[in-house]
Structure 1
Amino acid sequence: MQRGAKVCSSFATGPRQWDGTFYEFRTYYLKPSKMDEFLENFKKNIHLRTAHSELVGYWSVEFGGRMNKVFHIWKCDNYTHQTEVRKALAKDKEWQEQFLILNLALIDKQESEITYLVLWCKLEKPPKEGVYELVTFQMKPGEPALWCVAFKRAVMAHVNLGYSKLIRVFHTEYGALNRVHALWWNENADSRAAGRHQSHEDPRVVAAVQESVNYLVSQQNMLLIPTSFSPLK
């Protein structure tokens, strides 16, 4: 039992998290034909938003789900910080008038998740500009103690092949529970496809994945294209 508790802590949130820092995943579903207009408006006014909190990355979704979708990640020091940011934005007339009011009409739907970095994942940066893949795993209920070791082994098996760079792994705190997001960088979509083909023939990857899928409910992959103003390119 002691050993299991230690393993579980690698995915722990709350009191066992190293610090209060978390990451908000925001997804905007834009009305058809409004994607370019929305992104251009954001590009012109991004300085008004990043004056309040740190933008980690901003992408348009190329493949994997509904079209006309943007995905972005924001860093928060803690929940108090997030509350302060939202209050400040509500009072920021320049932000409200130059961006928010004009662009609300372009958004069809928006979603938000609160996530933490898993404790065994370093914060990595891409070697150069490329494309990104967000892989979302919905794991079986029962807390990470049941699946975190197998999941980590499967992720690291792909990392060790070196065809793709793991940027971060996030564990959802608010949103669908038992959900894990892995953010990968690739030079381009073709290099990603070639690397995945290679991984499917590697016995170490195959064995690790076979173990991990015993705890998997579903998986979704999105190919993300960084915007010109995204810190992660």
Structure 2
Amino acid sequence: MIYELRTYTVKPGTLGDMIKAASTVSRDIRKDDYGKLEGYWSTEIGPLNQVLHMWSYNSFDERARLRAELAKNPRWTGEYVPLIRPLLVRQEVRLMNAVRPPVAPASTGNVYELRNYRAKAAGGLKQWLDAFTTVLPEREKYSKIVGLWTTEAGQPNEACHIWAYPSLNARAEARGKAMKIRPGRNFSGRVQDSSRRCIRPSCCRRRTRRCSECGGTVARMERSAIRGPAPGIPGLRFRFTRATGATTPPSNNSSRVSRARSAAAHGASPSRHAAA
């Protein structure tokens, strides 16, 4: 099994458009027929205006074959690509092997942290992994790791790991306790460079259901984190938005007025149907 982490930087002000295109058009076309979607996030802290999505394949050969098939899909090239091309500033791809395959967190509503460590060449990554996996059971007393990978291509000698926290405050507390683990102090000698992002799951599929507050049909935005064995995708808690097909709050006043009128017509306050 190989994993592909794609990082797209978009123009300021277009992040919502990117997520909307990915959660509607892209998911409708791709489903899991061209690689399995493991997660889709947007950055909260760190490099901004970025989305990150992770895909898994059985092998490099399967990835090459499915990517080639996707490139021939007329809906992909005719509907999705034209939507996102004007938004993109930069694209990065990492091909990775799993040291710890992704595991869905036990709870939802989390904030996630992606940490990338570039180790020194000529054996530095193995030394870091040996030290890290030795203390990992102790580290997981403070927060659970979601997955751990090493890069095969894109960024050499790199380890990528994702952690789940109930909140940013919980992250700060866990990180403070983890720094007291004595072997952890030796990690810096093996690391040449590092970066980190706090990321939030972004919408990747939509379901409709009946709103318990006003009885109207609403769109429930399920936000992806790491997929678990169940069909549902754990992620952020959600509120309700009326089923207009939008995945992000409209950016203009006329749309907000329209939504407010729609909510009022159903006897509900617009704020009770605000997007998460």
Shorter-chain TM-score above 0.5: yes
Question: Is there any run of 5+ residues in structure 1 with no aligned partner, and where?
Answer: 1-20
Q: Which residue of 2 is the match for residue 22 of structure 1? A: 2
Q: Which residue of 1 is the match for residue 68 of structure 2? A: 87
**Partner of residue 78 from structure 2, selected from 74, 77, 97:** 97
SS at match of 1:42: helix
Matched length: 204
Q: CA distance change for structure 1 residues 132 and 145 in 2, over 3 Å: closer, same or farther?
A: closer
Q: Which residue of 2 is the match for residue 11 of structure 1? A: none
Give the superposition deviation at 1:154.
Answer: 4.2
**Partner of residue 220 from structure 1, selected from 195, 201, 215:** 195
RMSD of equivalent CA atoms: 1.6
Q: Structure 1 stretch 184-193 or stretch 21-30: which is displaced more? A: 184-193
Residue 154 (structure 2) pairs with residue 172 (structure 1): no
- Provide the rounded CA distance (Å) in 2 between the counterparts of 1:167 and 1:99: 30
Give the superposition deviation at 1:61.
Answer: 0.6
| Amino acid paired to 1:33 | G
TM-score w.r.t. structure 1 length? 0.82
Q: Which has the higher contact order (CA 8 A, sep 6+)?
A: 1
| Amino acid paired to 1:48 | I
Residue 12 (structure 2) pairs with residue 32 (structure 1): yes
Residue 97 (structure 2) pairs with residue 116 (structure 1): yes
Q: Which residue of 1 is the match for residue 218 of structure 2? A: none
Aligned residues: percent identity? 25
Q: Which residue of 2 is the match for residue 8 of structure 1? A: none
TM-score w.r.t. structure 2 length? 0.70
Aligned pairs for 1:1-233 within 5 A: 21-45=1-25, 46-50=27-31, 51-65=33-47, 67-118=48-99, 121-129=100-108, 130-143=110-123, 144-159=125-140, 161=141, 163-200=142-179, 202=180, 205=181, 207-229=182-204, 230-232=224-226, 233=235
Residues 157, 208 of structure 1: 8 Å contact kept: no
Deviation sequence 1:98-153 (CA, Å, 0-9, x none) = 211221111111010100001xx254211122111111111111124433321323
Q: Which residue of 1 is the match for residue 215 of structure 2? A: none
- Provide the rounded CA distance (Å) in 2 between the counterparts of 1:156 and 1:181: 18
- Provide the rounded CA distance (Å) in 1 between the counterparts of 2:178 and 2:102: 23
Residues 171, 178 of structure 1: 8 Å contact kept: yes
Residues 132, 184 of structure 1: 8 Å contact kept: yes
Give the superposition deviation at 1:157.
Answer: 3.1
Q: CA distance change for structure 1 residues 33 and 98 in 2, over 3 Å: closer, same or farther?
A: same
- Provide the rounded CA distance (Å) in 2 between the counterparts of 1:61 and 1:124: 20
Give the superposition deviation at 1:176.
Answer: 2.1
The runs of 4+ residues in structure 1 deviating greater than 4 Å are none
Higher CA-based Rg: 2
Deviation sequence 1:175-211 (CA, Å, 0-9, x none) = 22211011111112111112222333x3xx1x11112
- Provide the rounded CA distance (Å) in 1 between the counterparts of 2:149 and 2:85: 28
